[in-house]
Structure 1
Amino acid sequence: MRVATINNSMISKGQMRMEGKFFLNETSLLCMPLERNADKCVTLETVADVMNPPVFKRQFCSPTERAVQYFQSSDVNIASESSSVFVYKPQAERIKAIVHKGDILVTGFGTIGNARLISRHQDGVCYANNVARIRTKGEVLNGYIYAFMASKYGSAQLNKNASGSVVRYIEAPGIKKVLIPNTRVSFQQEVDDLIQKSARLREEAADMLEKSKNLLKEKAGLDNLVSEDYDYYGHRSADRKVSCFSIKQKEITTTTINAFNYSRRILNTKSKIQSTVPLKEVLLYNDVFSTGSFPRVEVSGNNGIMLINQSDIFDAIIKGKRISKRRVKTDNLVEYGEVLIAGVGTLGDSEKFCHVIFANEDLVGQLVSGEFIRMKTTKEVTSGYLFAWLDTDYGFRLIRNTQAGTKLCRPIPRMLLEIPVPLIDSDSMQEIDRLVREAHTKRYQANCNERKAISMVEKEIESWTTSKKN
């Protein structure tokens, strides 16, 4: 049972609501320390401009100089800095949907309260209209504002002020009312320094991963793929040719009769890749594996063990969910350097299906769902190098080419193991492996700095309650 004393002023702010659940739910309880110490806070609108672009009909297009990358509300918390979806740039500029380095984004639709600090890699991209833009004024430190908005207290206020029942939402007018702790300048600077350091580490990591893939393709003599090099489901221009081909009966195997798996475009693309070995020859025991199936009974607090699903693993900071350890085997937890493939999903180009993950310090010792295809490499081909290859446009399209299914698709294991892996000179392979490992360590360090900054803000607010009790 939850018990708390509510004064008259809080009842007035609650529009004369009298039922206990309005004031004593999780969101309201987190808002109380700020509401009771409003004299120590300022509203967000006094320190930042907050806006949402108008609703617009998205004009999807091919990646040209008149196009700009487009991100949905669900992309706000992902680690990736790029998108395969493009919209018409003049339209996005006209309605002010373009974001810039230093902007703070907050989701106001569906899952409310996810936050992102825009890096230089996303300077000039377009986000959906239901993502609010926060731009700090004057000398206000945007790293400090971001840390608060990403904290449980920032998220709680957004969710408390949200409207709707089935699908909840909040836009700029409601977000402007958020109370921001007006703490001492030195404290704000310390938090801001941690967030800015985190942002720099993420930018450096993105640069290193891009460098590793470019080096691999350069040494393998491969150019970037164009849309004519593969089959896909998504936006296509009017001049794109229909993929139509015929094959001999003897070429059809017992593995599949799906035309997508026999794509002539992919066969031509494979012919460009020289000095290769099948994927199975670089894997430990010449095979992939998975975590397996187990019951998923959610538990509260820090009880049980954290489970990471496909919907969680691509986030910048992985949260997962806690499940009971009962009948869950914990002898197959993730080890450093594993390469994981998102093994189930749909074929939209914006979907994470068939994208790869490198297991860094954040994932070591974690329980991942059985939907991931997991790989451990031999000493001859390092896991960082394999990740870089599978993370290129070639690797992604080759994995997609092995899919089978209708609504939910999965790679065909036998075909997946035959994917070609190019072998380049040993020194370059080691350099690529080093870049991948260092990049993912930088991501881990960035997450540590961000968690520390958010924790500092939360502890500062919690100290207000403690000092009053004393």
Structure 2
Amino acid sequence: MSRKFQVKAVPSSWLEHNGRRLDCGPYMSGAIEAAELMRQFSVEPLESLTKDIFHAGREGRQYVLDAQHGVPFMGSTDILAFDLTYQPLLSKKQVNRNPQFTIRKGWTLITRSGTTGRMAFARESMDGMACSEHVMRIVPDANKVPEGYIFAYLSSRFGIPLVVSGTYGSIIQSIEPHHVSNLPVPRLGEVESVADRLIQRSGSLLSNSQAKLNEATELYFDSVGLSDINPTEWHSWGSDLGFATPVSSKSLRALNFNPRFERLCSQIKEGQHKLLGELCLEGTLRRGNIFKRIDAAPEHSYQLVGQKQIFWLRPEGRWISKASVREEVLVSDGTILVAAQGTLGEGELFCRAEFITGSTLERAYSEHFLRVIADESQIERGALFAFMRSETAFRMLRSASTGSKLQDFHYAVLPSLPIPYPEQAVRKKCHDLVMEAYEARDEAIRFEDEARSLVERTIEEGAR
């Protein structure tokens, strides 16, 4: 693909207002354009509309495994995630010593280092969680400005360039509170309340979606007389050292026979169950094929999503030419994609699962995912996902891996994993809960987009 050059004509007044700066970066980023547009409105500095702008400060993190002694912790990219059920735990003692770790509903969260300017609205399911020092907290004063409007404006195409720009619009590597304290916020009257209602509704839908997913998983286990394991239980079962077990010709790796894994499998086999291979369509339970990536314009491309981004509410990815790949990069409705390569660290994504339906069907997915496609004559696809997203499935899948540093699945072991098999009525209920959760997710994204578009449109019209 030939290189595209960007060209933009700017009024001479922009040069005068910005110290006659002649390098193109600040003008092309949109920061100066946004600042000029703000001159057409009654504006207030961000700090005058907030109770506080801060981050947690840099200090070593103390993680724990027991939920009684920990608080779910979000890193800088975790604020972008849809499902926050299985976050690592930060020590309660550390959070109590430094309350600035804690997130509250209604705040605007902004990544402040690395890739700066990514944003999320703190919804109810985030309330009380701890968050990295690499995320800046904007705490609106609800008596002066609606919380949702602040997020809608800051995450708009006018707000983002101002957030990530420093003096005279130069791009900076890390954002500090004083970089955004004087950021101009236009007052838009009734539009602020409308945007707030849309953002609040979006946040409520996302929190309800997560609750439905957790309900589906809990129902799935309860119906067969089991409960999902948690990390505390898993690690309390002892180490995997010094055991003897019969081995098969499929594997000679000790991890594939470890006692904790065998204990999980035995518990499932005591009740109604089927093997994973029996529940999936023939030819699945494999990774995708390797393919060449050729960049192209979005109108001629698929957005390619990798392991890291798939768990985000709004996955990002490069645009690859449709003509350069076959349709196997796409997946069918209800496919479960499992991160298929990685390491065995507790916080790593390897073996975490995502459900593909609705708007996510439009994207392409890399070869680094295990494709799990349920045979609908055996089990509803949403029901299988209710199990595959669980901590139990996560631990079982990790025990069915192979490799040295970088792990992959042992594809001879996967089909023999036992899966609890509830009655049909329960499976249908679990499937419906999962589908409702993902439909609500798409609706939440639409509400957020609507709020942002409303703010952008109002600013554009007011500047004419």
Both proteins in one fold, TM over 0.5: yes
Query: Do the aligned residues in 1 keep the contact of 2:329 with 2:365 (CA within 8 Å)?
Result: no
Q: Which residue of 2 aligns with 1:20?
A: 23
RMSD, aligned α-carbons: 2.6
State whether structure 2 residue 294 is matched by structure 1 residue 294: no
Q: Which residue of 2 aligns with 1:322?
A: 319
Shift, 1:91, TM fit: 2.4
State whether structure 2 residue 345 is matched by structure 1 residue 342: no
Shift, 1:3, TM fit: 2.4
Specify the code of the residue in structure 1 equivalent to 2:121: L
Query: Do the aligned residues in 1 keep the contact of 2:31 with 2:158 (CA within 8 Å)?
Result: no
Specify the code of the residue in structure 2 equivalent to 1:4: V
Shift, 1:404, TM fit: 1.6
Q: Which residue of 1 aligns with 2:163?
A: 158
Q: Which residue of 2 aligns with 1:235?
A: none
Q: Which residue of 2 aligns with 1:416?
A: 414
Shift, 1:332, TM fit: 5.2
Q: 1:219 aligns with which of 196, 216, 223?
A: 223
SS of match in other structure, 1:326: helix
Q: Which residue of 1 aligns with 2:277?
A: 280
| Within-5 A mapping of 1:227-246 | 227=231, 230=234, 241-246=238-243
Partners of 2:144 and 2:427 in 1: how far apart? 46
Q: 1:142 aligns with which of 123, 138, 147?
A: 147
Q: Which residue of 2 aligns with 1:267?
A: 262
Q: 2:87 aligns with which of 84, 87, 95?
A: 84
State whether structure 2 residue 403 is matched by structure 1 residue 380: no
Q: Which residue of 2 aligns with 1:41?
A: 43
Q: Could you tell which deviates more after superposition, 342-351 or 263-272?
A: 342-351
Q: 1:456 aligns with which of 447, 454, 457?
A: 454
Q: 1:229 to 1:60 in 2, by over 3 A?
A: closer
Q: 1:190 aligns with which of 184, 189, 194?
A: 194
Q: 1:92 to 1:460 in 2, by over 3 A?
A: same
Cα deviations across residues 258-305 of structure 1 (Å, max 9, x unaligned)? Answer: 222221111011111122211110111263244422222333454422
Q: Could you tell which deviates more after superposition, 333-342 or 379-388?
A: 333-342
Q: Which residue of 2 aligns with 1:208?
A: 212
Cα deviations across residues 221-255 of structure 1 (Å, max 9, x unaligned)? Answer: 11342547647xxxxxxx8843213335xx33443
| Count of aligned pairs | 452
Cα deviations across residues 417-442 of structure 1 (Å, max 9, x unaligned)? Answer: 22111111111111111111111111
Cα deviations across residues 192-220 of structure 1 (Å, max 9, x unaligned)? Answer: 11111111111111111111111111111
Partners of 1:226 and 1:279 in 2: how far apart? 22
Q: 1:84 to 1:28 in 2, by over 3 A?
A: closer
Shift, 1:184, TM fit: 2.1
Q: 1:384 to 1:23 in 2, by over 3 A?
A: closer
Shift, 1:319, TM fit: 3.4
* Identical amino acids, percent of aligned pairs: 24
Cα deviations across residues 76-133 of structure 1 (Å, max 9, x unaligned)? Answer: 1111223432222232233222111222211101111111222222221111112111
Partners of 1:207 and 1:103 in 2: how far apart? 21
Partners of 1:409 and 1:167 in 2: how far apart? 36
Specify the code of the residue in structure 1 equivalent to 2:129: V
Q: Which residue of 1 aligns with 2:431?
A: 433
Partners of 1:53 and 1:429 in 2: how far apart? 43
Q: Which residue of 1 aligns with 2:174?
A: 169
Specify the code of the residue in structure 2 equivalent to 1:222: L
SS of match in other structure, 2:327: coil
Query: Do the aligned residues in 1 keep the contact of 2:301 with 2:320 (CA within 8 Å)?
Result: yes
Partners of 1:7 and 1:301 in 2: how far apart? 34
Partners of 1:320 and 1:390 in 2: how far apart? 24
Q: 1:64 to 1:200 in 2, by over 3 A?
A: closer
Shift, 1:65, TM fit: 3.2
Partners of 1:272 and 1:415 in 2: how far apart? 18
Q: Could you tell which deviates more after superposition, 19-28 or 380-389?
A: 19-28
SS of match in other structure, 1:374: strand
Q: 1:93 aligns with which of 88, 96, 114?
A: 96
Query: Do the aligned residues in 2 keep the contact of 1:34 with 1:41 (CA within 8 Å)?
Result: no
Q: Which residue of 2 aligns with 1:7?
A: 13
What is the TM-score normalised by the length of structure 2? 0.90
SS of match in other structure, 1:435: helix
Query: Do the aligned residues in 2 keep the contact of 1:33 with 1:464 (CA within 8 Å)?
Result: no
SS of match in other structure, 2:65: coil
SS of match in other structure, 2:395: helix
Partners of 1:356 and 1:280 in 2: how far apart? 17
Q: Which residue of 2 aligns with 1:115?
A: 119
Q: Could you tell which deviates more after superposition, 320-329 or 436-445?
A: 320-329
